[in-house]
Amino acid sequence: MKVKKRIFLGLSLGGLFIIVGTAVLVWYFFLNPGTSIRVVIRFLGLIIFALALLGFLGVLLLAVSLLSKKSLGPLNSIIFKTLDFIYPLALFVSKLLKINKELLYGSYIEVYNQITKLRFKDLPDADKILMLPPHCLQKSSCPHKITVDINNCRRCGQCTINEPINLSEKYNVKMSVVTGGTSAREIIKKYKPQAVVAVACERDLASGVNDVSPMPVIGVLNIRPFGPCRNTTVDVNEVKGALEYFFRRAENILEPNIVFNNKD
C-alpha cells in the first residue's frame, strides 16, 4: 500500500515551525533587558531564523518538484540537502505526536523515490547499478543459505529470492543479499555503485537512503505476511520498474505477471 507523501512533508513543516518558535523565544529573551548575553542570543536567533528560512525554501522546492513531477535541474542538490535536514525534524515531530513511525518511513521513501526518478533517468552502464534484496526473502527453513554466495540458491521456487536473482541476470546488474543496514552500507562502500535498487522494510529503507543520500536509491518495500524478517516477499514488477528508471531496456524482458510460490 502506498503511503501519502504529504505525511512526511507535513511532519517536516511541523519541525520547521518548532525551529521558528525556538527562534522567537530566543529573540524574546534578547529583547528583555537585564541580560548580559544579548549579543550571543541575538546571534543564535539569527542562525535559527536562517536555518528555518532555508528549510522552508527547500520544502517549497521539494513540493513544487513533487506536484509538477518535473526535475528542477541545478536546484535538485538543494532538494536532497533539504531532505537530509528535515528528515530528523520529521522524526522528532512524529515522536511528539505519537504518529506511527512506519507511516513516516513509508512516506519518506515515497518522496525520495519520486525525487530520484525525476533526477536520474538513465545510467550509462548496467554494471554501475546494484540490487540489494534482504536475506528474509529466502525461506527460513531452506538449508542453502545465500548470504555468503547467491549461487547457493537452488531456484526451487518455494521462496521469492529466486525472482530478484532472475532480474539481476536478465538486466546484468550486480546483486548482493544483505542481512541488514550495516551490511548494506558495507556493500555499497565496496562496490561504489552509481545507483541502488533496495528491498527492505520501511525502517531499514528510510535509514538506508538517508545514510547514502544523495546517491540515487529507489526503495521497494517488502511484504511481510509472517511478520518482520521471516519469509517475506516482494512485488517483482516494482523492482523491475525501479531498474527501468535507471536505464533503458526492452519493455518485455520479463513477463508482466509473475506468480510467487511462497509456502510457509
pLDDT at residue 136, rounded to an integer: 92
pLDDT at residue 34, rounded to an integer: 54
Instruction: Identify the architecture of domain 126-244 in CATH.
Output: 3-Layer(aba) Sandwich (3.40)
Average pLDDT of every residue of the chain: 79
Per-residue pLDDT tens digits for 178-220 = 988 888 888 998 988 988 999 999 889 888 888 888 888 899 9
Band (pLDDT 50/70/90 cuts) for residue 249 is very low
pTM of the model: 0.74
pLDDT of residue 100 exceeding 80: yes
pLDDT at residue 112, rounded to an integer: 87
pLDDT at residue 196, rounded to an integer: 92
pLDDT at residue 194, rounded to an integer: 86
C-alpha distances out from residue 68 to 10, 63, 64, 80, 235, Å: 18, 8, 6, 17, 27
pLDDT of residue 243 exceeding 80: yes
pLDDT at residue 256, rounded to an integer: 35
Mapped onto helix, strand or coil, the DSSP state of residue 217 is strand
What is the C-alpha to C-alpha distance for residues 11 and 26, in angstroms, rounded to an integer? 23
Taking a C-beta distance cutoff of 8 angstroms, is the pair 197, 234 a contact?
A: no
Name the residue ranges covered by the structural domains of the chain: 5-119, 126-244
Lowest pLDDT segment from 77-86, 102-111, 158-167, 187-196:
77-86
Higher pLDDT, 127 or 199: 199
**Residue 222 DSSP class:** -
pLDDT of residue 254 exceeding 50: no
C-alpha distances out from residue 75 to 26, 71, 89, 172, Å: 31, 8, 21, 32
Band (pLDDT 50/70/90 cuts) for residue 123 is low
Helix (H) / strand (E) element for 30: namely helix 5-31
What is the C-alpha to C-alpha distance for residues 213 and 112, in angstroms, rounded to an integer? 9
Average pLDDT over residues 132-150: 87
Handedness of CA 122, 127, 132, 135 (dihedral sign): positive
Per-residue pLDDT tens digits for 216-238 = 889 999 999 888 888 899 999 99
pLDDT of residue 143 exceeding 60: yes
* Strands of the 174-175 sheet, one edge to the other: 174-175, 129-132, 195-200, 217-221
At 116, list the grid cell.
530520484
Per-residue pLDDT tens digits for 8-58 = 777 777 777 777 777 777 666 666 655 556 666 677 777 777 777 888 888
